[in-house]
Amino acid sequence: MAVLLSLLNFKDAEAQKKEKPNVIIIYTDDQGTLDLGCYGAKDLATPNIDRIARDGIRFTQGYVAASLCAPSRASLLTGKTPLDAGVDGNVSSMEGHAGMPASEYTMAEMMRDVGYATGHVGKWHLGYTKETMPNGQGFDYSFGHMGGCIDNYSHFFYWSGPNRHDLWRNGKEVFYDGQFFGDLMVDEVNNFVKQNRKKPFFMYWAINMPHYPYQPTEKWRKHYKDMPMPRRDYAAFVSTLDERIGKVLDYLEKAGLRENTIVIFQSDHGHSAEVRAFNGGGWSGPYRGAKTSLFEGGIRVPTIISWPAKLAKGETRDQMTVNTDWMPTLASLCDIDLPEAGRVGKDISPVLFDKTAQSPHDRFHWELGAQWAVREGDWKLVGNPKDPTAPESLDEEKDRLFLVNLADDISEKKNLASARPDIVGRLKKVHLELGVAKDMPDAKVREPKKHLAYSVPVESATPPSRKYAGMSGKWTLTDGILAFPNTGDKAWQGYEASDLEATFDLGEIKKVDEMRIGFLADYEQWVFPPKSVQVEISEDGKSYKTFGKTLKTDTEAPRSIKRVNIPLKGKARYMRIRIESQKLCPKWHKGSGNPAWMFVDEIELE
């Protein structure tokens, strides 16, 4: 009897294991917010992705946590904000560079821990070391490119630096010269499914299309031959990827696996308006912005889930969801225990099973470079906004805080910041609570410190690094926000191997006694205080008095902020500042001879 019970229990366990759904996440690259037939596009053919929507649920308010490739992927795979996942910007596409820390617990590890076979096919862009490539992040199997993009026939990376081959299987370089990468991906996905069909499988299919270079197949080039550029090649590439998705869906159906396979479709962010993408081609409909922007066209993306065995078919959901939600949601759907562990992602399974359920998000926070955004209900505040589709449409001074009510202005055209300072103040406080400084002392009460140069625009002849441009543009150094000793704090401006030369106008002659400027010392991050600081003051903009100070760099110092005081004692309206950086790491430093960083904080004038 005991043996019989043991056998029955074993069979029950095996049955439960087989009942777990398979999961395929299809993550496209640089696909426009509405570039699918099921989202209203009339000029391109996407019958296979439309099939996923017809067999499942389509979201009208699907978001990603970043409008840039690597941070978006880090958020998807960890359920965390890009910053908390250790990927606040794009990861290097050069071999030997780490990306997302191997210590992060990924979706693949979650699935593997409960018996799933885990596979990655396509783009990675989250690290190029053994520990940070897919096999080091929870994937049993991996085939694809590690960098941001490749030529689809030679599989070479051409974006920057030396041209180099980038195609790997399980950490070993492989060569398929002349074979279309889209077809290689289909074969890899289908082979993975075939080999693992007797156990639950998880496939992360990160399709590198329609990211440039636009290389559609000849069939689709001919189909769109009468369409004007750049829409023509973009549309042909979207239909090319759609056709490949169809081949995988067909295989699942023929294998009898489609019914119990969860298929999630999403784009990593909005379409690209870069020169390499012919300045556009994608379509965001009424939504402003594109890739790299925190306007809706950059972060609102097509989002679909289908599970024929359990979920409704042909329905839509208007509730807000974010790509960070997929990890906890899959944990729920696949009956997996998932500790919280600092994730911002929410389980949206109640919304999937009940279209009247509330979104679990009452607000969300984005941060990308100098840009940041907070959405709370229909109110949305964007700090230092960018619109790559129409950069001239933003006034750098008037629009550095851009407030809209999405219920009234889905196109984010009218800035209500000056009319609703109460809402601005409330959402700005949320940014301070949830942004880069959230874990630092007194971050929640970091109020602007007023001084004589407060909120005066600083005109710099030497712009900061794009990655460390500061949270307030040309006002970063005079916005009254004192930085914390952390390179991730957007109150800093960072300069790589360059000096800072800047001017500003106080608007009227004022008595000035002293200038204080803060600098970060963080030798582990190759950040050093400057060699010297020179300040010139003038009443008329013609005759200047010069003040200055030469600094000494200590060979050993804890991470700290060094504030330099420059006595002035005079009257001034116009001011010129020249800060000489170290440029190269000192001889005694481990990075000797390599470019050094200088991080500059508030310029306080008393």
DSSP secondary structure code for residue 525 in this structure: G
Residue-level pLDDT at 18? 55
Q: What is the CATH number of the domain that holds 386?
A: 3.30.1120.10
3-state secondary structure 160-177: CCCCEECCEECCEECCCC
Q: The tokens of 275 are what?
A: 């020169």
CB 36 within 8 A of CB 218: no
* Whether the predicted pLDDT of 437 surpasses 60: no
Q: Are residues 32 and 146 in the same domain?
A: yes
Sorted by sequence, the CB contacts under 8 Å of residue 196 that are 6+ apart come out as 117, 119
Q: Are residues 254 and 298 in the same domain?
A: yes
Has residue 12 been placed in a domain? Answer: no
Distance CA 387, CA 391 (A): 5
**pLDDT tens for residues 365-420?**
999 887 899 999 999 999 989 999 999 999 988 999 999 999 999 999 999 999 99
- Regarding whether 367 and 320 lie in a shared domain, the answer is no
**Structural domain includes residue 13:** no
Report whether 259 contacts 309 (CB < 8 A): yes
The reply to whether 515 and 500 lie within a common domain is yes
The verdict on 455 and 370 lying in the same domain is no
Asked if residue 389 and residue 307 are part of one domain, the reply reads no
Kindly state whether residue 1 falls inside one of the protein's structural domains: no
The pLDDT mean for the chain works out to 91
pLDDT digits (tens, 9 = 90+) for 260-297: 999 999 999 999 999 999 999 999 999 999 999 999 99
Looking at the fold, whether 113 and 239 belong to one and the same domain comes out as yes
Residue 8 lies in a domain: no
Q: How confident is the model over 537-562, as pLDDT tens digits? A: 999 989 999 998 888 877 777 778 89
In a domain, 10, yes or no: no
Residue 93 contacts residue 128 (beta carbons within 8 Å):
yes
- CATH number of the domain enclosing 218: 3.40.720.10
Three-class SS of residue 419?
coil
Q: Is residue 6 part of a domain?
A: no
Q: Please report which confidence band the pLDDT of residue 240 belongs to, taking 50, 70 and 90 as the band edges.
A: very high
Classify residue 584 by its DSSP letter.
Answer: B
pLDDT band, very low/low/confident/very high, at 446 (cuts 50, 70, 90) = low
Regarding whether 120 and 94 lie in a shared domain, the answer is yes
Q: Do 128 and 210 fall within a single domain?
A: yes
> Cα–Cα distance between 477 and 474 in angstroms, integer?
7
Residue with tokens 């190759």: 526
pLDDT category at 491 given cuts 50, 70, 90 is confident
| Strand 156-157 to 141-145 pairing | unpaired
- b/e per residue, 504-523, with b = 16+ CB within 10 A? bebeeeeebeebebbbbbbb
pLDDT by residue (tens digit) across 318-336? 999 999 999 999 999 999 9
Q: Are residues 473 and 400 in the same domain?
A: no
User: Which of 401, 435, 469 corresponds to the end of one domain?
Assistant: 435
pLDDT at 438: 55
What are the backbone dihedrals phi and psi of residue 191, each rounded to the nearest 5 degrees, phi first?
A: -65, -40
The total of other beta-carbon atoms located within 10 Å of residue 196's CB is: 19
Q: What is the mean pLDDT of residues 141-163?
A: 92
- With H, G, I as helix, E, B as strand and everything else as coil, classify residue 97: coil
DSSP-assigned letter for residue 211: S
Say whether both 529 and 591 belong to one domain. Answer: yes
Residue that terminates a domain, selected from 315, 334, 359:
359
CA distance readout (Å), 151 to 131, 167, 209? 25, 11, 11
pLDDT band at residue 475 using 50, 70 and 90 as cut-offs: confident
Determine the 3-state secondary structure of 427 from DSSP. Answer: helix
Q: What is the mean pLDDT of residues 328-345?
A: 94
Is the pLDDT assigned to residue 1 strictly greater than 70?
Answer: no
CATH number of the domain that residue 534 is part of: 2.60.120.1190
Structural domain contains residue 509: yes
Nearest-CA neighbor of 233 among 265, 287, 278, 173?
Answer: 278
Query: What is the number of other CB atoms lying within 10 angstroms of the CB of residue 44?
Result: 22
Range of the domain at 512: 447-605
**The total number of structural domains that make up the chain:** 3
Q: What is the pLDDT of residue 169?
A: 99
Mean pLDDT of the region 328-346:
94
HEC assignment per residue over 283-319:
CCCCCCCCCCCCCHHHHECCEEEECCCCCCCCEEEEE
Which residue in this structure is represented by tokens 């009510």?
Answer: 405
571: in domain: yes
ω into residue 350 within 30 of 0, thus cis? no
Asked if residue 393 and residue 497 are part of one domain, the reply reads: no
The Cα–Cα gap between 184 and 187 comes to 5
Out of 435, 470, 498, pick the residue that ends a domain: 435
- What CA–CA distances, in Å, run from 541 to 56, 435, 509, 511, 603? 67, 39, 11, 15, 20
